[in-house]
Amino acid sequence: MSETRADFVIIGSTPLARLVAGLLASVHGKSVVFSGESQSGYRLPRAIDLSVAPITRPETWGLLKAGLPEALKLLSRIGGRGAWSRVDPIFFSEAAAGKEALAHIRHMALAFGHAAELVPASAIGPGRSGLLLRDAVLLHRPTLEAGLDRWLDQHGVRRCGESETLTVRSSGSAELVSGADRIEIEQAVLADDAAVIDHVPGPLWPALLTRHVTSTIFTEPTRPIAATVMHRLDTGLTLVQQPGRGIAAIGPGAIDPFAAALGTLLGREREFRQAGQSSYEALVTVDAAPAVGRLRGSGPDILAGLGPSGAFLAPAIARWLCGKADPAENAWLGARLVDRRAAPSAVAEYGCAA
Amino acid sequence: MRSQPGRLGIERQHHLQGSAIDRDRPLQFRLDGRIVSGFAGDTVLSAALASGIDAAGRRDGVALALSARHAPAITFAALAGDHQRALPMERTLATNGADYLTTAQKVGGNLVARLLRRGGRSLDIDLDRSDALARPWLGTPAAAGPEADLVVVGGGVAGLSAALAGARRGLRVVLAEATPLLGGKARLFGTQDGEETPDAAIARLTAAVAKTDAITVLTSAEAFALRPGVVRLHQVEMPDGTPTGRVIDIHAPHIVLATGALERLPLFPGNRLPGVIGALDAFELAQLYGLWPGSSALVATGSSPAYRLAMLLTDAGITVPRIIDSRPHPQSRFIEFSKAYGITLAAGTIVASATPARRGNGVVAMPKLSMEGFSRTEPALPVDRLVVCGGWQPDLTLWHMAGGESAWNAGGMRLEGRGGPEGTVLAGSAAGWVSRSACLASGGDAVDVLLGRHRRLVEDRLIDPIYETPDAPASVGDEPDEAAQPVFLDGGWRHIQRPRRVVSRWPAWLPFAPKPPGWSLADTPQPLDIADIAAGVQLGAIPATSAGIVAQERVAMVVIESDQPDETAHPAGPLPLPPPWLAARYAGATLWLAVPDDARTLDAGALIHTNADETDPLKAIGVIVRIVNGTAVALVDGSAGQSASVREPGRAVGIRLVEPYRA
ipTM, two decimals, is 0.93
Q: In which band, very low, low, confident or very high, does the pLDDT at B146 lie, cut at 50, 70 and 90? A: very high
* Mean pLDDT, range A76-89, rounded to an integer: 93
Is the predicted pLDDT of residue B298 greater than 90, yes or no? Answer: yes
Q: In which band, very low, low, confident or very high, does the pLDDT at B628 lie, cut at 50, 70 and 90? A: very high
Which of A242, A257, A349 is nearest residue B523 as measured by Cβ atoms? A242
Q: How confident is the model over A146-204, as pLDDT tens digits?
A: 999 999 999 999 999 989 999 999 999 999 999 989 999 999 999 999 999 999 999 99
- Judged by a CB distance cut-off of 8 A, whether residue A205 touches chain B is no
Angle at which helices A96-111 and A58-79 cross, to 10°? 70
Which of B139, B557, B585 is nearest residue A277 as measured by Cβ atoms? B557
- Judged by a CB distance cut-off of 8 A, whether residue B565 touches chain A is yes
pLDDT at B230: 96
- Closest residue in A to B585 (Cα) is A346
pLDDT at B90: 97
Is the predicted pLDDT of residue B24 greater than 70, yes or no? Answer: yes
Is the predicted pLDDT of residue B569 greater than 60, yes or no? Answer: no
pLDDT at B287: 96
| Across B270-279, B496-505, B582-591, least confident range | B496-505
Element spanning B158, H or E: helix B157-168
Q: Is there a contact between A352 and B581 (Cβ–Cβ < 8 Å)?
A: yes
pLDDT at B513: 63
Instruction: Map B602-632 to HEC letters.
Output: CCCCCEEECCCCCCCHHHCCEEEEEEECCEE
B562–A257 CB contact, under 8 Å: yes
A256–B562 CB contact, under 8 Å: yes
Q: Quick check: bond before A54 cis, omega within 30?
A: no
pLDDT at B562: 62
Residues of chain A in contact with residue B227, where contact means CB-CB under 8 angstroms, are: 256
H helix intervals, B316-432: 333-341, 397-401
Q: Is there a contact between A26 and A18 (Cβ–Cβ < 8 Å)?
A: no
pLDDT at B85: 87
Q: Alpha-carbon distance B629 to B593, whole Å?
A: 11
Q: How confident is the model over B380-393, as pLDDT tens digits?
A: 999 999 999 999 99
Q: Alpha-carbon distance A76 to A85, whole Å?
A: 10
Q: Which residue in A194, A174, A179 sits closest to A278, CA to CA?
A: A194
Q: Which residue in B33, B38, B31 sits closest to B3, CA to CA?
A: B38
B617–A62 CB contact, under 8 Å: yes
Q: In which band, very low, low, confident or very high, does the pLDDT at B117 lie, cut at 50, 70 and 90? A: low
Higher pLDDT, B504 or B47: B47
pLDDT at B255: 98
Is the predicted pLDDT of residue B134 greater than 90, yes or no? Answer: no
- B8-20 in b/e form (b: 16+ CB < 10 A) is beeeeebebbbeb
Which of B542, B575, B625 is nearest residue A96 as measured by Cβ atoms? B575
- Judged by a CB distance cut-off of 8 A, whether residue A234 touches chain B is yes
pLDDT at B83: 76
Strand B607-609 and strand B622-628: the pairing is antiparallel
**B280 CA: distance to closest CA in chain A (Å):** 27
Is the predicted pLDDT of residue B564 greater than 60, yes or no? Answer: no
* Mean pLDDT, range B634-658, rounded to an integer: 94
The proportion of chain A whose per-residue pLDDT surpasses 90, expressed as a percent, equals: 89
**A242 CA: distance to closest CA in chain B (Å):** 7
In the chain, the amino acid numbered B6 is G
- A37-67 in b/e form (b: 16+ CB < 10 A) is ebbbbbbbbbbbbbbbbbbbbbbbbbbbbeb
In the chain, the amino acid numbered B374 is F
Q: In which band, very low, low, confident or very high, does the pLDDT at B456 lie, cut at 50, 70 and 90? A: confident
pLDDT at B333: 86
pLDDT at B466: 86
* Mean pLDDT, range A92-102, rounded to an integer: 95
A142–B575 CB contact, under 8 Å: no
Question: In 10 A of CB B573, how many CB atoms?
Answer: 8
Average pLDDT, chain B: 92
Q: How confident is the model over B301-339, as pLDDT tens digits?
A: 999 999 999 999 999 999 999 999 999 999 998 888 898
Q: In which band, very low, low, confident or very high, does the pLDDT at A3 lie, cut at 50, 70 and 90? A: confident
- Closest residue in A to B565 (Cα) is A257
Q: In which band, very low, low, confident or very high, does the pLDDT at B244 lie, cut at 50, 70 and 90? A: very high
pLDDT at B517: 57
Q: Alpha-carbon distance A102 to A112, whole Å?
A: 15
Question: How far, rounded to the nearest angstrom, does the alpha carbon of residue B448 sit from its chain's CA centroid?
Answer: 30
Q: In which band, very low, low, confident or very high, does the pLDDT at B563 lie, cut at 50, 70 and 90? A: low
The proportion of chain B whose per-residue pLDDT surpasses 70, expressed as a percent, equals: 95
A275–B575 CB contact, under 8 Å: no
pLDDT at A145: 95
Q: Alpha-carbon distance B430 to A324, whole Å?
A: 57
- Closest residue in A to B648 (Cα) is A107
In the chain, the amino acid numbered B275 is G
**A66 CA: distance to closest CA in chain B (Å):** 13
Q: In which band, very low, low, confident or very high, does the pLDDT at B521 lie, cut at 50, 70 and 90? A: confident
Q: Alpha-carbon distance A180 to B275, whole Å?
A: 57
Is the predicted pLDDT of residue A82 greater than 90, yes or no? Answer: no
The proportion of chain A whose per-residue pLDDT surpasses 70, expressed as a percent, equals: 99
Q: In which band, very low, low, confident or very high, does the pLDDT at B55 lie, cut at 50, 70 and 90? A: very high
Strand A237-241 and strand A229-232: the pairing is antiparallel
Q: CB within 8 A of B330, min separation 6: which ones?
A: B304, B347, B469
Is the predicted pLDDT of residue B139 greater than 90, yes or no? Answer: no
Q: What share of chain A is helix, strand, coil (3-state, %, to 5)?
A: 35, 30, 35
Q: How confident is the model over A69-81, as pLDDT tens digits?
A: 999 999 999 998 8
Q: Please identify among residues 349-408 of chain B the ones whose CB lies closer than 8 Å to any CB of chain A.
A: none
Question: In 10 A of CB B345, how many CB atoms?
Answer: 16
Strand partners of residue A241: A247
pLDDT at B566: 53
Q: Please identify among residues 577-616 of chain B the ones whose CB lies closer than 8 Å to any CB of chain A.
A: 579-585, 603-607, 615
Is the predicted pLDDT of residue B512 greater than 80, yes or no? Answer: no
Residues of chain B in contact with residue A276, where contact means CB-CB under 8 angstroms, are: 527-528, 553-555
Interface test with B, best of A110, A273, A281 (most B CBs within 10 A): A273
pLDDT at B471: 93
Is the predicted pLDDT of residue A215 greater than 90, yes or no? Answer: yes
Give the E-state strand segments of B359-436 in sequence order.
363-371, 374-377, 381-383, 385-389, 392-394, 406-409, 414-417, 424-426
**Distances in whole angstroms, Cα of residue B33 to Cα of each of B36, B97, B101, B317, B462:** 9, 12, 8, 33, 51
Which of A62, A242, A352 is nearest residue B525 as measured by Cβ atoms? A242
Q: Alpha-carbon distance B412 to A228, whole Å?
A: 42
pLDDT at A32: 98
* Mean pLDDT, range B79-100, rounded to an integer: 91
- Closest residue in B to A271 (Cα) is B139
The proportion of chain B whose per-residue pLDDT surpasses 90, expressed as a percent, equals: 76
Q: Is there a contact between B447 and B149 (Cβ–Cβ < 8 Å)?
A: no
Residues of chain A in contact with residue B615, where contact means CB-CB under 8 angstroms, are: 111
- Closest residue in A to B494 (Cα) is A275
Strand B424-426 and strand B254-257: the pairing is parallel
